[in-house]
A = this chain, B = another copy of it.
Amino acid sequence: MVTIKELAAKSGFSKSTVSRVINNDHNVNEQTRKKVLAVIEEMDYKPNIIARSMITGSLPIILIIVGDIQNHYFARTVVGIEKELTEKNYMAVVYNSMYDVDKEKKFIRMAKECQFCGIIPMTAVKSDELEECLDEVNCPIVLINRDLRKKPLDAVFGNDFEASYIATTELIKNGHTCIAYISGPSKISSVSVDRENGYRAALKDHDIRVDESLIYEGKLDMKSGYEIGKKIFKNTKITAVSSNNFLMALGVHRCGKALGKPVLTEFDIACGETVPELYEESGFIYAGSDLEAIGAKAAQFLMKRINKSKEPRQKIIFSATKIYNPKQIK
> Which residues of A are at the interface with B, using a C-beta cutoff of 8 A?
46, 48-51, 53-54, 57, 59, 61, 69-70, 72, 75-76, 78-79, 82, 86, 91-96, 113-115, 222, 247, 250, 254, 276-279, 281-282
Contact = CB atoms under 8 A, between A and B. Distances in A.
Contacts of A79: 69-70, 96
B75 A70 contact: yes
The 9 closest A-B pairs by CB, nearest first: A46-B113, A50-B53, A91-B93, A70-B75, A50-B54, A49-B114, A54-B54, A50-B115, A93-B93
A75 B69 contact: yes
Contact of A277 (B70, B254, B282): B70
A75 B173 CA distance: 37
27 contacts: A48-B115, A49-B115, A50-B54, A51-B54, A54-B54, A61-B93, A69-B69, A69-B75, A69-B78, A69-B79, A70-B72, A70-B76, A70-B276, A70-B277, A82-B95, A82-B96, A91-B114, A93-B93, A94-B94, A222-B278, A247-B278, A250-B278, A254-B281, A254-B282, A276-B276, A278-B278, A278-B279
A96 B85 CA distance: 13
A250 B277 CA distance: 12
A76 B94 CA distance: 14
A254 B254 CA distance: 16
Nearest to A51: B54
Given A53-B50, A70-B277, A79-B69, A92 B93 contact: yes
A295 to B, nearest CB: 12
Contacts of A70: 72, 75-76, 79, 276-277
A250 B95 CA distance: 29
A48 B93 CA distance: 18
Contacts of A222: 278
A183 to B, nearest CB: 21
Contacts of A53: 50
A113 B276 CA distance: 35
A59 B50 contact: yes
Nearest to A281: B254
Contacts of A281: 254
A212 to B, nearest CB: 31
Contacts of A94: 94
A278 B82 CA distance: 24
Contacts of A46: 113
A67 to B, nearest CB: 13
The winner among A50, A86, A222 for most chain B CB atoms within 10 A is A50
Contact of A113 (B49, B54, B254, B277): B49
Nearest to A277: B70
A326 to B, nearest CB: 11
Contacts of A78: 69
Nearest to A78: B69
Contact of A50 (B50, B93, B96): B50
A165 to B, nearest CB: 26
Nearest to A89: B110
